[in-house]
Chain A
């Protein structure tokens, strides 16, 4: 019997490097206020939010098989929850950010039960209806100053340096929760179920995966992560309006980042977010023409290269940053 001769490899050399680099980056982020200019800190916070939002969309669409074009619903809910908790109710703003996650999750429960009646593409447009309904609802509520939105004036009690420290710590926690959390989730037994669902939901369900329950779970997780990113993003902005919080453009960003860089892989959203972030810095001044380019690129990738950039890269060399596979190796 050679049973003892086989071991299961779960980590790779490239994975260990990526993990080390990741931990160093996460620890560096909160130190930025002590050495970097505030311009770079703003960039780092924004980039963290983009990565988090894209990773949550990737979890939802890539693994859960639920394409959403209404992620702005959760960004807006997270943002508004922060402004109401900190501004209207007087909770410490830095404590209010993690507390804000409750609102998008509570909203996500009935939304999921309603929308799961629609399959595939109809689900996607349903999420957009929900996001629009929430935007219009918030625009009609006097308590949150209707369409003119809220300002986070309570942040004035902190010095700019204190705010930067708070924001960078929150950004690091956001990345740890969304990227790290997804990594841990995918390496667990639920990860096996999710990967099976990604490849073929019918086959996964025949192997005993409770697909409906996993989808609900993924929908809630994605709402929580997206809402947290919304709270961090709008804390940095200090202002929120219904049309900025519930902007459909958030979904365009998610779709662009994940589709172009590689859906259903953990590495995709990180590469895509970097690409989008710097492309917008360089070409954003062309406004509409730049977005025509992004839209066309998304169209072409969906039709001709559904695996995106990451699948091209792994075709050259298989160097996973976040290995989630179980490889059998002989000792």
Chain B
């Protein structure tokens, strides 16, 4: 029964990681834009959220309502400011530029908020749990998990069925041909980044409410999201969702075997997937009608 519990807890942890992995699936997998500062943005939004909650006494729901549009604005500015300039044949400049941004952001946050981990109180939901058969499931992790499913389905639907989704997929497939057909490619990229970072606003609240955040955590969040996107299959939003579930289960099972093995087993599973099935575990929707 211990292992069933570990499996369920792994899925719930995956639900938390899904919040930032699907944003990355949109940017990395579909648009092929690399943003090394992805994880640092979650931390930045989370620390801003905690500061807002402390100053105004706002609850975590209200903070989330503020952080999501703030994330959208940051994403839009970021795309206009950095990758749009250097999107082209050579991905190196945007990689290095966002790497520089990541270092600058991390240390800026360290300067403002110090290295202490902080968290946000989620009222009584934070500690409530309900028995499901013989095991207990936390209410907050369950809410996060459901939200991950809704976001994944919503983003997948948006990409497949809306005119924005068509424009975005066309831009990703062939930027010049899309522009010739009348697609505002820069606009599509900026809007997609805005959506990806807006989701990070939600991720930030969930992360801060469920565990804690500190300025130096961005790197490992980037890696978790990256592993999910690659092992799920590039270009697929549901693939990334599947990827985080695998990662979450691997981490929880690993930490039950030995407390030091949790994150390591997650990395190892990713490397094994890369060795055995480099095209990913999921199915790609990129280029599909």
Contact = CB atoms under 8 A, between A and B. Distances in A.
Contacts of A133: 264, 267-268, 271
B229 to A, nearest CB: 9
Contacts of A69: 36, 99
A212 B83 CA distance: 28
Contact of B226 (A129, A291, A295, A303): A129
B274 A114 contact: yes
A15 interface: no
B260 A139 contact: yes
A120 B96 contact: no
B220 interface: yes
Interface stretch (B51-59, B104-112, B158-166, B169-177): B104-112
A288 B95 contact: no
Interface stretch (B12-20, B63-71, B85-93): B85-93
Interface string A59-82: 001000101010000000000000
A181 interface: no
Contact of B97 (A130, A132, A303): A303
B108 A129 contact: no
Contacts of B48: none
Which of A65, A288, A301 has most chain B Cβ within 10 Å?
A: A288
B103 A252 contact: yes
A67 B96 CA distance: 9
A154 interface: no
Given A122-B230, A133-B268, A289-B111, A298 B99 contact: yes
Nearest to B279: A117
A80 B95 CA distance: 30
Interface in A80-138: 114-115, 117-118, 120-122, 124-126, 128-130, 132-133, 136-137
B247 to A, nearest CB: 11
A146 B97 CA distance: 35
Which of B103, B263, B274 has most chain A Cβ within 10 Å?
A: B103
B264 A255 contact: no
A129 B86 contact: no
A306 interface: yes
B9 interface: no
A129 B82 CA distance: 25
A296 interface: yes
B91 A120 contact: yes
A298 B105 CA distance: 13
Given A133-B267, A292-B107, A306 B230 contact: no
Interface residues of B, number: 45
B111 A255 contact: no
Contacts of B278: 117-118
B180 interface: no
Interface in A263-297: 287-289, 291-297
A180 interface: no
Contact of A295 (B100, B268, B271): B100
B101 interface: yes
A129 B267 contact: yes
Contacts of B111: 287-289, 292
B235 to A, nearest CB: 12
A52 interface: no
B91 A136 contact: no
A322 to B, nearest CB: 22
Contacts of A165: none
Which of A137, A292, A296, A302 has most chain B Cβ within 10 Å?
A: A302
A288 B113 CA distance: 11
A204 interface: no
Contacts of B219: 128, 248
B223 interface: yes
A188 interface: no
A1 B261 CA distance: 73
Nearest to B223: A129
Contact of B96 (A65, A259, A289): A259
B254 to A, nearest CB: 10
Given A129-B227, A303-B86, A306-B93, A114 B110 contact: no
A96 to B, nearest CB: 27
Closest 7 CB pairs of A and B: A295-B104, A298-B100, A295-B103, A299-B100, A121-B34, A136-B264, A133-B267
Interface of A: 61, 65, 67, 69, 114-115, 117-118, 120-122, 124-126, 128-130, 132-133, 136-137, 139-140, 146, 248, 252, 255, 259, 287-289, 291-303, 306
Given A292-B103, A292-B104, 12 more contacts: A117-B278, A118-B230, A128-B219, A129-B227, A140-B261, A140-B264, A288-B107, A293-B104, A297-B100, A299-B96, A300-B100, A301-B100
